[in-house]
Structure 1
Amino acid sequence: MIFKDLQHAWNPSPEEIRAWAYSNEKIPEQDWELAVNSFENIPMICTFIDDEKCTHTSFFLSSLYVFTGDIVRSGITEDIVSLYELVDHVTKTAKSEQLKNWVERSKHLIKHPKEYDYDYWGLGSKYVY
C-alpha cells in the first residue's frame, strides 16, 4: 500500500505518484485525477504517458484532459496563459501519439473555450476511454 490513508492519498507527493504509476495498485480514491493534477505535476505525468512501462497510462492521460478542461473552464487568464506555456513546452518533448493529441486538442480548446464539452474534458474523458 503506497498511501497510509485516504487523506494522504489526496495530497500525494511526486514520489508517491511515481510509485503508483508503476504499480499494480488500483486507483486509491475515486476522482483521484483531481488530487494529482497541478502545474508542478503535469511534466511528470507527461513522462508517464510516454513511458510504455507505466501501468496507469490511461489514468494519467485522462487526468491531463481533466486538467486542461478545468483550467480553460475556469476562465482565469493567468492560469490559461500558464497552461498554454506548459502545453507549448510539452510540444517539444512529447513522443507518443496520445500525448501529441492531447497537446493539439488542448491548444485548440484554449483558443476556442466555448467548445468545452465535459464528455471529453471531464472525468472519464471520451478521448481516453
Structure 2
Amino acid sequence: MTLQQSTFRGFANAVDPTPAELRAWAYQPDSVPLQTMPQDWDLLVSGDRLIGTLFDLAMDRSCPARRFALHCLYIYAADGIRTNFRAHPKRRLRKLVEQAEEYGDELMVTWAHNSRMLLAKPDLFDYHDWCEGGLVRQSRRLA
C-alpha cells in the first residue's frame, strides 16, 4: 500500500501537525530530522487526531518514517490500555488491531499481538518497550 506522496513544505505548527503535513513529512523525513522536532514529539502526535494517518504510514512498507509511525502506534496502544481507555476509545484501538492482523505484514501483526497481550495482561507494560521504542528496535512477540 503506497500512499499519495506530496512535497513537504514544513509544519505550520510542529506541536500540532495536520494529517497532510505528517504524511508529507513521513515520505521526506530528512527534510526536518526528528532530532529537531519538539521534545517528546512522538508523544504529542500519538493521539486520536493523527492515529489513522500514523496507522496508514506504519502499514506502508515503502514509507521512510514507517518505524516512527509504528513507534507511535505502540505509544497509542499503551496509553489507551493503561488509562483504561480514558485517553483513547477502545473501539478505535480494536479496529486498528483487527486491520493490522488482517492486512499487515509481520511488524504490524506483531504490534497487534502485543497490543492484545497488553490488554489481557496490563502488567506487561514496560515504559522503555512501549513508549521509548524498545519494541520497534527489537521486534518481538510478548508472551
**Alignment-mate amino acid for residue 42 of structure 1:** I
Aligned to 1:13: 18
TM-score by length of 1: 0.82
Please give the alpha-carbon distance, in whole angstroms, between the structure 2 residues aligned to 1:85 and 1:51: 17
Any unmatched runs of 5+ in structure 1? none
Partner of residue 53 from structure 2, selected from 44, 48, 59: 44
Say whether the 8 Å CA contact 2:54–2:69 is kept in structure 1.
yes
More displaced 10-residue stretch of structure 1: 110-119 or 74-83: 74-83
Change in Cα spacing, 1:54 to 1:112, as seen in structure 2 (3 Å) is same
Partner of residue 106 from structure 1, selected from 87, 90, 115: 115
| Equivalenced residues, count | 124
Any unmatched runs of 5+ in structure 2? 1-8, 138-143
**Alignment-mate amino acid for residue 27 of structure 2:** Y
Please give the alpha-carbon distance, in whole angstroms, between the structure 2 residues aligned to 1:9 and 1:2: 8
TM-score by length of 2: 0.75
Instruction: Answer yes or no: is 1:57 the counterpart of 2:66.
Output: yes
Shift of 1:77: 6.2
Shift of 1:17: 0.5
Shift of 1:78: 8.4
Shift of 1:36: 1.9
Coordinate RMSD, CA, aligned: 2.1
Say whether the 8 Å CA contact 1:72–1:80 is kept in structure 2.
no
Runs of 4+ with deviation above 4 angstroms: none
Instruction: Answer yes or no: is 1:127 the counterpart of 2:135.
Output: yes
**Alignment-mate amino acid for residue 97 of structure 2:** V
- Identify which of structures 1 and 2 has the higher relative contact order when contacts are C-alpha pairs closer than 8 Å and 6+ apart: 1
Aligned to 2:10: 2
Deviations 1:94-128 (A, max 9, x none): 2x211111011001111111221111111x22111
Aligned to 1:93: 103
For the residue of structure 2 that corresponds to 1:128, the secondary structure is: helix
Please give the alpha-carbon distance, in whole angstroms, between the structure 2 residues aligned to 1:111 and 1:45: 24
Shift of 1:67: 1.0
**Alignment-mate amino acid for residue 136 of structure 2:** V
Change in Cα spacing, 1:75 to 1:99, as seen in structure 2 (3 Å) is same
Aligned to 1:118: 127
Shift of 1:71: 1.2
